[in-house]
């Protein structure tokens, strides 16, 4: 009898504990916050100094004689400008064009590598292998299939071309005047040899820094069918990890790049 009473008391305690745990779980909710990582396309959009800039032609805008409002535009632009994607074929013969990139490369777990302290005041800063190692020391190994976002803080200058590009001049002669941070070829090599990532993005005009002549980081990454997102923004609003990235470009057949709408989804406890 004593044994049965003890068993009954233990069962009641367990039920009470479970009930409290369930209530705690019920009282904890999460809310998904959506962060837009995309610069708006307009006449202010920053393009490579040799690329055709964005142009919007108004076809119609106003009330019609049939009583409804109607608006329509034409636009023209280069593939590579504003927030956009570099498809692997951009720097690697025979690799994927925009429409061939698997969606799995464009949607998935994101991480943010914050190098703002190092890049502050240094427009020629190169994201290094050490930057990745430092992130891993604090957060664990870069996850399989991660989408890496490089946060240099440089997007704060957008769309001021002089501060963002290093020059407000245009044409082939302006290329040598470009200054902005990028990913070092050594770090790009380390990523492809030691980690398996799906894609990478940066808040500057190019994954290679402004003074690059041979675009080695492009070649290293794109040769492995790792697409790059350039001119992204609002990375200051993201945590170091624990968010989802959705990066969907215009699906251009044989495209070497395309305008990109990229967002991040962050779960916040309520």
Residue count of the chain:
270
Task: Specify the 3-state DSSP secondary structure of 179.
Answer: coil
- With tokens 């302290």, the residue in question is 117
Per-residue pLDDT tens digits for 50-69: 999 999 999 999 999 999 99
Question: Which domains are delineated in the chain?
Answer: 31-38+80-269 (3.50.30.50)
Angle between helices 185-194 and 129-139 (to 10 degrees): 50
Least confident range from 24-28, 101-105, 217-221: namely 24-28
The pLDDT value recorded for residue 29 is 82
Minimal CA–CA distance to 84: which of 29, 121, 45, 111? 45
Confidence band of 154 (pLDDT split at 50, 70, 90): very high
The pLDDT value recorded for residue 27 is 63
Dist. CA 113–CA 45, nearest whole Å = 25
Per-residue pLDDT tens digits for 15-52: 444 444 444 345 668 899 999 999 999 999 999 999 99
The pLDDT value recorded for residue 172 is 96
The pLDDT value recorded for residue 30 is 83
Dist. CA 33–CA 3, nearest whole Å = 53
The pair of three-digit structure tokens given for residue 129, joined into one six-digit string: 């292998």
The pLDDT value recorded for residue 232 is 98
What distance, in Å, lies between the first and last C-alpha atoms of the chain?
A: 47
Q: Percent of the chain scored above 90 by pLDDT?
A: 88
């Amino acid at each position: 009898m004593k044994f049965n009473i003890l068993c009954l008391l233990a069962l009641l305690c367990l039920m009470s504990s479970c009930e409290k745990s369930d209530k705690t779980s019920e009282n904890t909710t999460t809310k998904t916050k959506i962060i837009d990582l995309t610069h708006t396309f307009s006449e202010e959009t920053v393009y490579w100094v040799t690329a055709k800039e964005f142009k919007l032609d108004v076809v119609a805008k106003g009330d019609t004689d049939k009583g409804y409002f109607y608006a329509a535009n034409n636009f023209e632009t280069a593939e590579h400008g504003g927030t956009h994607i570099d498809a692997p074929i951009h720097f690697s013969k025979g690799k994927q064009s925009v429409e061939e990139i698997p969606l799995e490369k464009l949607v998935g777990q994101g991480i943010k590598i914050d190098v703002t302290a190092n890049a502050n005041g240094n427009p020629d800063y190169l994201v290094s292998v050490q930057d990745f190692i430092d992130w891993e020391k604090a957060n664990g190994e870069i996850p399989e299939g991660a989408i890496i976002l490089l946060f240099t803080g440089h997007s704060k200058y957008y769309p001021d071309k002089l501060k963002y590009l290093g020059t407000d001049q245009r044409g082939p002669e302006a290329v040598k005047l470009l200054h902005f941070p990028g990913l070092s070829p050594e770090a790009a090599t380390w990523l492809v040899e030691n980690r398996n990532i799906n894609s990478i993005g940066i808040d500057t005009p190019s994954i290679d820094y402004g003074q690059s002549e041979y675009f080695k980081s492009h070649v290293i990454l794109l040769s492995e069918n790792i697409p790059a997102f350039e001119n992204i923004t609002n990375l200051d609003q993201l945590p170091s990890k624990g968010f989802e990235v959705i990066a969907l470009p215009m699906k251009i057949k044989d495209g070497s790049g395309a305008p990109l709408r990229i967002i991040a989804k962050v779960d916040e406890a309520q």
